[in-house]
Amino acid sequence: MAKNIMFQGTGSTVGKSVITAALCRILNDEGYAVAPFKSQNMALNAYVTKEGKEMGRAQVVQAEAARIEPHVSMNPILLKPTSDMGSQVVVNGKVYMNLSASDYYTHKEALMTEVKKAYKALDEAYEIIVIEGAGSPAEINLRKNDIVNMGLAEEIDTPVILIGDIDKGGVFASIYGTYMLLSSSEQKRIKGYIINKFRGDVRLLEPGIEMFYERLPIPCLGVIPFERIDVDDEDSVTERFLSRNTSPIQIGVVRLPYLSNFTDFTPFELEPDVGVQYISTQEDFEKSDIIILPGSKSTIKDLEYIKRLGMDQWIKEAHSKGKIIIGICGGYQMLGQEIKDPLHVETNNDYIDGLGLLEMTTTMMQEKTTVQSEGEVVNHPKGINGKNHKVKGYEIHMGVSTYSDRMRPFLKLNNRLDGCMNATGTVCGTYLHGLFDMDGFRHDLLTAIRKEKAMEQQDLVNFARLKEEAYDHIANLVKQNIDMDQIKAIVGIK
Contact 389, 377 (CB under 8 A): yes
Pick the catalytic residue: 71, 397, 433, 443?
433
Between residues 55 and 85, which one has the greater pLDDT? 55
Query: What's the CA gap between 7 and 482, in Å, rounded?
Result: 14
The pLDDT, as a whole number, for residue 470 is 95
CB atoms within 10 A of CB 169: 8
Backbone φ/ψ region at 397: left (φ over 0), alpha (ψ -120 to 50), beta: beta
329 counts as catalytic = yes
Q: Is residue 8 predicted with pLDDT exceeding 90?
A: yes
Listed by start position, the domains of the chain span 3-231+468-491, 249-454
Q: Is the pLDDT of residue 39 over 80?
A: yes
The pLDDT value given to residue 243:
67
Residues facing residue 373 across a β-bridge: 393
**Exposed, middle or buried by CB within 10 Å (0-12, 13-18, 19+), for 458?**
middle
pTM as predicted:
0.93
Looking at the predicted structure, is the pLDDT value of residue 192 above 80?
yes
Residue 295: what pLDDT?
Answer: 96
Helix (H, G, I), strand (E, B) or coil at 468: helix
Name all contacts of 167-175 with Cβ < 8 Å and 24+ positions apart: 167/196, 167/197, 167/198, 167/199, 167/226, 168/11, 168/14, 171/10, 171/195, 172/208, 172/212, 174/10, 174/11, 175/10, 175/212, 175/216
Asked if the model's pLDDT at residue 235 lies above 80, the reply is no
pLDDT digits 0-9 by tens, 196-208: 999 999 999 999 9
Q: What is the pLDDT of residues 130-165, one digit of tens each?
A: 999 999 999 999 888 899 999 999 999 999 999 999
The pLDDT score that the predictor gives to residue 67 is 98
Q: What is the mean pLDDT of residues 228-256?
A: 77
Over residues 64-69, mean pLDDT: 98
CATH number (3.10.28.10, 3.40.50.300, 2.30.33.40, 3.40.309.10) of 3-231+468-491 reads 3.40.50.300
Domains 3-231+468-491 and 249-454 share a fold: yes
Q: What is the pLDDT of residues 456-485, one digit of tens each?
A: 999 999 999 999 999 999 999 999 999 999
Round to whole Å and give the CA distance between 392 and 134.
31
Q: Where are the alpha helices (DSSP H) in 30-169?
A: 57-65, 101-106, 108-125, 150-156
Domain 249-454: which CATH class?
A: alpha beta
Percentage of the chain modeled with pLDDT above 90? 86
SS3 246: coil
pLDDT score recorded for residue 237 = 54
Q: Using one digit for the tens of pLDDT, what is the confidence trace for 406-451?
A: 999 999 999 999 999 999 999 999 999 999 999 999 999 999 999 9
pLDDT of residue 420: 97
* 40-to-14, 154, 205, 233, 427 alpha-carbon distances in Å: 17, 16, 34, 16, 38
Helices (H), 157-203: 171-180, 184-189
Active site residue 428: no
Contacts of 27 by beta carbon, 8 Å cutoff, 6+ apart = 34, 66, 128, 130
Q: What pLDDT is stored for residue 214 in this prediction?
A: 97
Secondary structure of 309-369 in HEC code, one letter for each residue: CCHHHHHHHHHHCCCEEEEECHHHHHCCCEEECCCCCCCCCCEEECCCCCCEEEEEEEEEE
The answer on pLDDT for 233 being more than 80 is: no
- Cβ burial 350-368 (10 Å sphere, 16+ → b, else e): ebbebbebbebbbbbeeeb
210-222, pLDDT tens digit by residue? 999 999 999 999 9
- Which range, of 114-118, 227-231, 278-282, averages the lowest pLDDT? 227-231
Comparing 106 with 273, which gets the higher pLDDT?
273
Active-site residue (options: 24, 220, 329, 420): 329
Per-chain mean pLDDT for the chain: 94
Instruction: State the pairing for strand pair 290-293/324-328.
Output: parallel
- β-pairing, 427-430 vs 416-421, is antiparallel
**SS3 (DSSP) at 112:** helix
CA distance 319 to 427: 8
In the chain, the percentage of residues whose pLDDT exceeds 70 is: 98
